[in-house]
Amino acid sequence: MKFEEFPKPSWLVMNIRAVFGRAYPRIIGVNRELSWVFFETVLPLLGVAGYVYVYKALEAPAQYIGYVIIGGAMTAYWMNVLWSMAAQMYWEKEMGNLELYLIAPISRMSVLGGMALGGMFSSSVRALSTIFVGMVVFGISLSLPDPLMFTGIFIFTMIALYGMGMMFASLYMLWGREAWHMSSLFTEPIYLVSGFYFPVKGFVSMLGNPGFWIAAGASIIPITLGLDGMRQCLYPGNRDGFLPLWLELAILVALSVLFLFLAKYSLAYMENLGKREGRLTMRWQ
Amino acid sequence: MKALNDVNLTINEGELFGLLGPNGAGKTTLIKILCTLLLPTSGEAKVLGYDVQKETNSIRQKINMVSGGETSGYGLLTVRENIWLFSQLYGIPTKEANRRIEMLMKELKLEHKMNSKVRTLSTGLRQKANMVRGFMTDPDLIFLDEPTLGLDVNASRLIRDFIKKWMSEKPTRTMLLTTHYMVEADELCDRVAIINDGRVLACDTPQNLKRLIHQDAVLKLEIKQVAEVSAFRNIPGVRNFTHDQNIATGTTMLKFILDDEAAVADIVAAVPKSGSRIVSVEKTEPTLEDVFVTLVGRGLTNHEV
């Protein structure tokens, strides 16, 4: 058995390889299980359709149909972060992969980064499918006069959102199934306060000052400002935006830094705690 | 409850070191500490000269681990893809990773399953794939936690042969093996530590461990029936002597527990003097299992659920 020596990669190259290695199962999985075409396009659209018909019945402005479709598309990322990204460490532990990741000479953030990259890819397929089917079925039209701003908003929404998912992942690593309740807690309420199916500025219109604070509080969830920013970019000229675009982008950048830092810190803390208590790789928790 | 207590072991470079112990003895806990997955509550552990608490990354670059009954990997991926994925955690370039995967799969007779999805593999094939995953990083130190658990005879033998070959090819390679199978430890290990209730009861080469109870070598002698056997009792080197008449076969079974193996010749010579002749002779050599039973007070499987 001959093992060829290879130049020792730098820390960065090694971690980049680890990120792509870990992302691979998610990316390849999209092609291997074609049942996703049904589950990832038709089913999400059914949920969205309910809101679309309500707006149509109320003869709401046309852009509201677009708002709902965009919200439906972004649901893919939120669900992915909550139920797949955050819970992934739990599943990795149950499958027996976690200890193999933990004994590897790489940053734990690379493993989470790989999960995030893979999750973003598979969720993007679902999100784009939802938008495409939404355009075909409901005839929405989108314009993009400022693609740079849209790209910035989208990218930093993703970084902040998946950074948040990474932070949750460290909780799942030790809490196990107990952390399920956290995901349940965050699912439906966030649909409401983050404005998945209506502009978050609606809170201000309906409730005044308290509404502003509800929207501001919900902005800690990156998808709130991400959704609002993307809606402003895709439907320019309307007055449904919560905050100025530049401010939303700045907050999203800050949230990205914050959540990545918290993810790194909480992962290191939880790993150390797990190693001390002997629960790090203990299954069936 | 302490999983490990006063464990003091040194494993030398190039050594295949075995850990023998019943379930719950602390074997896996020890491996987890050495693999940097668990922190010791007190004391110190060093792997390849690095502290398991402070120099984890230096250790992780040089070790790997394979566990028996391991279910790692992603069922949707092929065997090659799964192993490639784990190779990326060690920074192995894809070309070299693929070359190593093919080489090791051929070595473990798994090459025909290279492109099969992991979820379609049997237990034995899956364990071979785990072995490829663990060895493909060419670790300086590898931990094998019951690698042949649940495997059939052929698969176990193949893995044992692979382990021997691996160790023989590079003198600096070191291995820590835990196993339930005494024969496996006896066959493979340079040294063995017997561990029970978190304590190391003995640690030496299998030969030396067997010598621990060598004084209890047992000689069984079946001779044609005789009336008087007291002469056998006084032969020098015989510590204990029992006899049993078998009227049906017309023989007498003499059982000697010897302090000194030199007594065997005197015993055999005493048979014709007693007016009898030998029907069969059986000298029982102590096995590692006998050592284990003597030290632990029970067999490995006594407390298994």
Is the separation of the CB atoms in A225 and A248 below 8 Å?
yes
Rounded to an integer, the average pLDDT of A38-48 is: 78
| Across A247-256, A272-281, B209-218, B274-283, least confident range | B209-218
Q: Which two tokens stand for residue B160?
A: 């044992």
In a domain, residue A213? The reply is: yes
Chain B residues in contact with A6 (beta carbon < 8 A): 92-93, 96
* CATH 3.40.50.300 boundaries in chain B: 16-205
Q: What burial class does residue B109 get, using C-beta atoms within 10 Å of its C-beta: 0-12 exposed, 13-18 middle, 19+ buried?
A: middle
Q: Which two tokens stand for residue A31?
A: 């092609």
Alpha-carbon gap, residue B38 to A271, rounded angstroms:
10
Chain A residues in contact with B103 (beta carbon < 8 A): 1-2
pLDDT tens digits, one per residue of B60-99: 999 999 988 777 888 889 999 999 999 999 999 999 999 9
Distance of CA B230 to the CA centre of its chain: 42
Q: Compute how many other C-beta atoms are within 10 angstroms of the C-beta atom of residue B202.
A: 18
Q: Which two tokens stand for residue B42?
A: 């007190």
Residue of B28, B29, B35, B37 best to disrupt the A interface, most CBs of A under 10 A: B37
The reply to whether residue B138 touches residue A278, judged by beta carbons under 8 angstroms, is no
Is the separation of the CB atoms in A45 and A72 below 8 Å?
yes
The model's confidence at residue A279, banded by pLDDT at 50, 70 and 90, is confident
In a domain, residue A184? The reply is: yes
Helix (H) or strand (E) holding B202: strand B199-204
Residue of A26, A27, A97 best to disrupt the B interface, most CBs of B under 10 A: A97
- DSSP bridge partners of B283: B219
pLDDT tens digits, one per residue of B51-71: 999 999 999 999 999 988 777
Nearest-Cα distance to chain B for A269, in Å, is: 14
Measured between CB atoms, which of B65, B85, B99 is closest to A25? Answer: B85
Chain B residues in contact with A95 (beta carbon < 8 A): 71-74
Alpha-carbon gap, residue A233 to A249, rounded angstroms:
12
Chain B residues in contact with A100 (beta carbon < 8 A): 65, 72, 86, 89, 133
In a domain, residue A81? The reply is: yes
Tell whether B129 is within 8 A of chain A (Cβ).
no
Output b/e per residue, A241-279; b: 16+ Cβ within 10 A.
bbbebeebbebbeebbebbbeebbebbeebbeebbeebb
| Across A1-15, A18-32, B212-226, B265-279, least confident range | B212-226
In a domain, residue A20? The reply is: no
Chain A residues in contact with B138 (beta carbon < 8 A): 3
Maximum CA extent, chain B:
80
The reply to whether residue A103 touches residue B35, judged by beta carbons under 8 angstroms, is yes
In a domain, residue A175? The reply is: yes
Rounded to an integer, the average pLDDT of A141-145 is: 85
**Which residue in chain A is spatially nearest to B65 when comparing CA positions?**
A100
Alpha-carbon gap, residue B174 to B181, rounded angstroms:
20
Domain at B214-285, CATH homologous superfamily: ACT domain (3.30.70.260)
pLDDT surpassing 80 at residue A156: yes
Chain B residues in contact with A106 (beta carbon < 8 A): 89
Instruction: Tell the CATH topology of B16-205.
Output: Rossmann fold (3.40.50)
The reply to whether residue A18 touches residue B88, judged by beta carbons under 8 angstroms, is yes
Tell whether B243 is within 8 A of chain A (Cβ).
no
Helix (H) or strand (E) holding B222: strand B218-224
The reply to whether residue A281 touches residue B37, judged by beta carbons under 8 angstroms, is yes
The reply to whether residue B72 touches residue A100, judged by beta carbons under 8 angstroms, is yes
Rounded to an integer, the average pLDDT of A65-75 is: 91
Whole-prediction pTM: 0.82
Distance of CA A8 to the CA centre of its chain: 34
The per-residue pLDDT for B302 is 46
**Which residue in chain B is spatially nearest to A33 when comparing CA positions?**
B76
In a domain, residue A17? The reply is: no
Which residues, other chains included, contact B156 with Cβ-Cβ below 8 Å and sequence gap of 6+? B148, B181, B184
Tell whether A275 is within 8 A of chain B (Cβ).
yes
Chain A residues in contact with B60 (beta carbon < 8 A): 103-105
Measured between CB atoms, which of B60, B76, B77 is closest to A103? Answer: B60
The per-residue pLDDT for A85 is 83
| Across A196-200, B22-26, B130-134, B170-174, least confident range | B22-26
HEC string of chain A? Answer: CCCCCCCCCCHHHHHHHHHHHHHHHHHHHHHHCCCHHHHHHHHHHHHHHHHHHHHHHCCCCCHHHHHHHHHHHHHHHHHHHHHHHHHHHHHHHHHCCHHHHHCCCCCHHHHHHHHHHHHHHHHHHHHHHHHHHHHHHHCCCCCCCCHHHHHHHHHHHHHHHHHHHHHHHHHHHHHHHHHHHHHHHHHHHHHHHCCCCCCCHHHHHHHCHHHHHHHHHHCCCHHHHHHHHHHHHHCCCCCCCCCCHHHHHHHHHHHHHHHHHHHHHHHHHHHHHHHHHCCCCCCCC
Tell whether A227 is within 8 A of chain B (Cβ).
no
Nearest-Cα distance to chain B for A3, in Å, is: 7
The model's confidence at residue B1, banded by pLDDT at 50, 70 and 90, is low
Nearest-Cα distance to chain A for B56, in Å, is: 8
The parent domain of residue A86 ranges over 37-277
Is the separation of the CB atoms in B147 and B119 below 8 Å?
no
The reply to whether residue A21 touches residue B88, judged by beta carbons under 8 angstroms, is yes
Distances, alpha carbon B206 to alpha carbons A6, A275, B201, in Å:
38, 33, 14
* C-alpha torsion sign, points B288, B290, B293, B294: negative
Output b/e per residue, B13-47; b: 16+ Cβ within 10 A.
eebbbbbbbbeebbbbbbbbbbbbbbbbeeeebeb
- Three-state secondary-structure class, residue B7: coil
**Which residue in chain A is spatially nearest to B163 when comparing CA positions?**
A1
In a domain, residue A117? The reply is: yes
* CATH 3.30.70.260 boundaries in chain B: 214-285
Tell whether B77 is within 8 A of chain A (Cβ).
yes
Average confidence score pLDDT of chain A: 88
Tell whether A106 is within 8 A of chain B (Cβ).
yes
Rounded to an integer, the average pLDDT of B173-181 is: 91
Tell whether B64 is within 8 A of chain A (Cβ).
yes
Measured between CB atoms, which of B37, B67, B104 is closest to A102? Answer: B37
Is the separation of the CB atoms in B167 and B177 below 8 Å?
no
In a domain, residue A258? The reply is: yes
The per-residue pLDDT for B303 is 41
Nearest-Cα distance to chain B for A196, in Å, is: 32
Tell whether B256 is within 8 A of chain A (Cβ).
no
Q: In total, how many domains does chain A have?
A: 1
Nearest to B67 by CA among A284, A95, A105, A1: A95
pLDDT tens digits, one per residue of A224-253: 999 999 999 999 887 889 999 999 999 999
